[in-house]
């Protein structure tokens, strides 16, 4: 097993599919992500301004290297319609070495 971790999945959500697709393409063109997956959520339920809200949202999972997180966070904040967007990095603790090599090949070298 890999000690520590070098790879992450960054998760964000939003209610505008077109904006999310544009954000995904930007992350790929800037080589900040190797892969971006977008899925439709049935419903998000959350507290906002002291009220329980419900919304139809889309979830975006960004496959990348840990060292690119800050740049990804900046791009998401700059292009996200929410004032407080969900931006969560989840460590990948182990996996297919060939997949990790591919991520290394296609993402930005620091």
73 within domain boundaries: yes
- Whether residue 2 is predicted with pLDDT greater than 50 in this model: the reply is no
**pLDDT at site 34:** 99
43 within domain boundaries: yes
For the whole model, what pTM was predicted?
Answer: 0.93
Number of domains in the chain: 1
Could you tell me the CA-to-CA distances from 14 to 2, 39, 44, 66, 80 in Å, in that order?
A: 33, 11, 10, 23, 8
pLDDT in tens, 70-82: 999 999 999 999 9
In the chain, pLDDT over 70 holds for what percent of residues?
96
77 within domain boundaries: yes
**Containing structural domain, residue 43:** 7-104
1 within domain boundaries: no
**pLDDT at site 110:** 75
Average pLDDT over residues 85-90: 98
110 within domain boundaries: no
DSSP class of residue 52 equals E
- Whether residue 1 is predicted with pLDDT greater than 80 in this model: the reply is no
pLDDT in tens, 6-57: 999 999 999 999 999 999 999 999 999 999 999 999 999 999 999 999 999 9
31 within domain boundaries: yes
2 within domain boundaries: no
67 within domain boundaries: yes
CATH code (residue 61): 3.30.70.120
Long-range contacts of 99-108 (CB under 8 A, 24+ apart): 100/6, 100/7, 102/34, 103/7, 103/34, 103/35, 103/63, 103/64, 103/65, 104/65, 106/31, 106/34, 107/31, 107/32, 107/33, 107/34, 107/64, 107/65, 107/68, 108/30, 108/31, 108/32, 108/68, 108/71
């Amino acid at each position: 097993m890999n000690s520590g971790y070098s790879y992450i999945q960054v998760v964000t959500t939003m209610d505008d599919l077109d904006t999310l697709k544009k954000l995904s393409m930007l992350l790929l063109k800037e080589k900040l992500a190797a892969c971006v997956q977008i899925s439709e959520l049935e419903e998000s339920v959350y507290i906002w301004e002291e009220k329980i809200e419900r919304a139809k949202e889309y979830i975006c999972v960004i496959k990348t290297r840990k060292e690119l997180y800050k740049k990804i966070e900046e791009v998401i904040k700059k292009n996200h319609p929410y004032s407080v967007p969900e931006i969560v990095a989840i460590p990948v603790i182990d996996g297919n070495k060939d997949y990790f090599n591919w991520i290394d090949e296609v993402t930005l070298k620091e």
